[in-house]
């Protein structure tokens, strides 16, 4: 019996720093999508990319936010081919547009193992006599972008489907999928309180979780930001606490806090975490946590930005002023599994201004391995009175808060892809909201940029990098549950073989050209997998979709 456990295909693993990363110029035009023209979809690649996911076949799906277009009545999801061109098999010329209501925006998406796409967002439809308020919307799309009518009510869920008649003004912000196929959704719930809900795979509320499938945190002044589900189904919600108060009076010296809530898999606060399942901590007087992720030991990493008050005399813009309030720094905070702040760096957190003369905003973090964090965001620099230059940002730092200099030689990379106007407002806009990576050391980043000089309107920014350093091992790519697989027997394979998995997960079988042969689910322990009878002899790979662990086998 031969047993082999691989984190990646060995031919794809590189020594850190051995290959210089670069923009992949073969991806659409100069490595990123153009606005309009023959390479755009029927929405002209317009507006903001909120979140993205790369499918196993290499196609890229983007949740697109049209919230600034008040006349747009459709929830839009984009899909692109591996070369960045619109996937004309998806929706209309690469866009799935599903009617919802006024000011519809697509906030997050997740890919199921069978290739179906689940999206959540908000839209102004009329419900229970109330019109003009943003409401909950969730959909499941087939692989061609059409509504999957087996989900919810004709493919959709609205506020009352999840919350009943008490759910006015609920809005989702994040969606995750558990290995068992259930969905975890977080956002703003009834009464303005933050919520986390768990739904069954068909869209019905999971009545085994909290109360009717919904946990609501009734603490005041909380705004939902992000969530992550660990390998045992426990949920960590990242919230920002606005208008902190002492005895009911606003604490002007500490406006916002980081607020982390841990809810068990049954939907109650985990009393073993911090105090009553809740950790509150400050980085500065005005914190805005944005993204949360887990290391392999289940310890927590948080990124956000801190805005100092105008008494801080920091010459970040080169003009001797505070830049009209743009005094932000990005920060990274480290939290132990029991809800205490890590002690390996002072205070358990560290702040960054990248470069030193720019306000810095962190947006998304993924854990490439326990000592390599990958962060997206933006930087802003004032160039003249009322005019600013905003640039997209990617950075890699280690667990001690140091730049990893094998990434772009200095640990960060600023992309100046907005367009400067010739007269009037001459600023430029460009920022990254989300990132995803592949086992072959590629990275995709999405966000926005202004495509026309002097314009404050934005279009989709989707960029591809290659030869990105991951270090020697990778434990989370990204927001996934930790698992590993190993080939048991036999190898070579006739038709049936067995895989051992450390956790519940999903798998994809591909040939040497990357073509998907089959997909399926993995349970914890032994899994017997049957290959198609017609499958030709040759070399194939089975990949754990949660960790991208890959095992090579031979079909006789």
Give residue limits of the domains in the chain. 24-31+283-475, 485-555
Q: What is the pLDDT of residue 309?
A: 47
Average pLDDT, the chain: 82
Tell which wins on pLDDT, 114 or 279: 279
* Averaged pLDDT, 469-480: 50
Out of 75-79, 119-123, 224-228, 480-484, which region has the weakest mean confidence (pLDDT)? Answer: 480-484
State the CB neighbour count (10 A cutoff) for residue 129.
6
Beta-carbon contacts of 554 under 8 Å, excluding residues fewer than 6 positions away, are 491, 492, 493, 537, 538, 539, 540
Q: What percent of the chain has pLDDT over 90?
A: 46
* Averaged pLDDT, 66-75: 63
Tell which wins on pLDDT, 16 or 388: 388
Q: Is the model's pLDDT at 313 over the cut of 70?
A: no
- Considering 34-38, 75-79, 162-166, 416-420, the range whose residues carry the highest mean pLDDT is 75-79
Q: How do residues 445-463 score in pLDDT, each as one tens digit? A: 999 988 876 666 788 999 9
Q: What is the pLDDT of residue 308?
A: 58
Separation CA 121–CA 137 (nearest Å): 5
Task: Please report which helix (H) or strand (E) contains residue 454, including its range.
Answer: none
- CATH number, domain 485-555: 2.60.40.3080
Out of 99-103, 176-180, 425-429, 435-439, which region has the weakest mean confidence (pLDDT)? Answer: 425-429
Q: Long-range contact list for 527-532, CB < 8 A, 24+ apart? A: 527/498, 527/499, 527/500, 527/501, 528/496, 528/497, 528/498, 529/496, 529/497, 529/498, 529/499, 530/495, 530/496, 531/493, 531/495, 531/496, 531/497, 531/555
Q: What is the pLDDT of residue 251?
A: 63
Looking at residue 536, what DSSP letter applies?
P
- Considering 7-16, 246-255, 528-537, the range whose residues carry the highest mean pLDDT is 528-537
Listed residue (147, 30, 44) closest to 86, CA to CA: 44
pLDDT band, very low/low/confident/very high, at 245 (cuts 50, 70, 90): low
pTM comes to: 0.80
pLDDT band, very low/low/confident/very high, at 398 (cuts 50, 70, 90): very high
Q: Is the model's pLDDT at 70 over the cut of 70?
A: no
């Amino acid at each position: 019996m031969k047993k082999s456990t691989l984190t990646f295909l060995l031919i794809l693993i590189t020594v850190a720093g051995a290959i210089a990363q670069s923009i992949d110029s073969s991806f659409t035009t100069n490595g990123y999508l153009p606005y309009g023209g023959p390479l755009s979809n029927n929405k002209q690649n317009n507006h903001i990319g909120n979140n993205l996911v790369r499918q196993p076949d290499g196609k890229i799906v983007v949740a697109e936010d049209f919230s600034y277009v008040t006349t747009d009545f459709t929830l839009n999801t984009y899909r692109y081919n591996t070369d960045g061109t619109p996937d004309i098999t998806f929706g209309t010329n690469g866009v799935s547009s599903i009617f919802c209501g006024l000011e519809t925006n697509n906030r997050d998406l997740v890919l199921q193992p069978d290739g179906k796409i689940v999206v959540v967002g908000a839209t102004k439809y009329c419900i229970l006599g109330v019109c003009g308020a943003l409401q909950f919307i969730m959909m499941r799309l087939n692989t061609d972008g059409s509504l999957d009518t087996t989900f919810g009510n004709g493919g959709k869920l609205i506020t009352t489907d999840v919350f009943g008649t008490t759910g006015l003004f609920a809005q989702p912000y994040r969606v995750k999928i558990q290995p068992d196929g259930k969905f975890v959704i977080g956002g703003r719930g009834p009464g303005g309180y933050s919520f986390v809900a768990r739904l069954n795979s068909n869209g019905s509320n999971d009545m085994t979780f909290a109360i009717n499938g919904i946990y609501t945190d009734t603490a005041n002044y909380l705004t939902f930001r992000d969530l992550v589900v660990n390998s045992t189904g426990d949920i960590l919600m990242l919230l920002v606490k606005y208008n902190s108060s002492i005895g009911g009076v606003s604490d002007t010296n500490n406006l916002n806090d980081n607020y982390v809530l841990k809810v068990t898999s049954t939907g109650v606060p985990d009393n073993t975490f911090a105090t009553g399942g809740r950790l509150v901590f400050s980085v500065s007087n005005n914190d805005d946590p944005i993204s949360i992720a887990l290391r392999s030991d289940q310890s927590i990493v948080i990124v956000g930005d801190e805005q100092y008050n105008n008494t801080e005399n920091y010459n970040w813009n080169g003009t001797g002023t505070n830049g009209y309030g743009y005094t932000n720094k990005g920060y990274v905070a480290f939290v132990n599994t029991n809800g205490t702040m890590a002690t390996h760096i002072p205070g358990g957190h560290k702040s960054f201004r990248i470069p030193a003369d720019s306000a810095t905003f962190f947006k998304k973090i993924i854990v490439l391995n326990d000592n390599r964090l990958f962060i997206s965001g933006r930087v802003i620099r004032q160039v003249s009175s009322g005019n600013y230059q905003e640039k997209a940002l990617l950075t890699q730092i280690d667990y001690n808060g140091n730049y990893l200099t094998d990434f772009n030689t200095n640990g960060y990379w600023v992309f100046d892809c907005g367009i400067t106007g010739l007269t009037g407002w001459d600023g430029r806009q460009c920022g990254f909201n989300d990132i995803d990576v592949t086992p072959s050391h590629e990275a995709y980043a999405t966000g926005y940029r202004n495509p026309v000089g002097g314009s404050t309107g934005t279009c989709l920014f989707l960029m591809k990098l290659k030869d990105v350093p991951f270090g020697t091992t990778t434990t989370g790519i990204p927001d996934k549950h930790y698992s590993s697989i190993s080939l048991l027997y036999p190898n070579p394979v006739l038709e049936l073989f067995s895989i051992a998995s450390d956790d519940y997960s999903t798998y994809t079988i591909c040939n040497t050209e990357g073509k998907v042969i089959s997909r399926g689910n993995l349970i914890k322990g032994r899994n017997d997998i049957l290959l198609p009878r017609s499958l030709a002899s040759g070399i194939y790979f089975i990949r754990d979709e949660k960790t991208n662990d890959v095992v090579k086998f031979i079909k006789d």
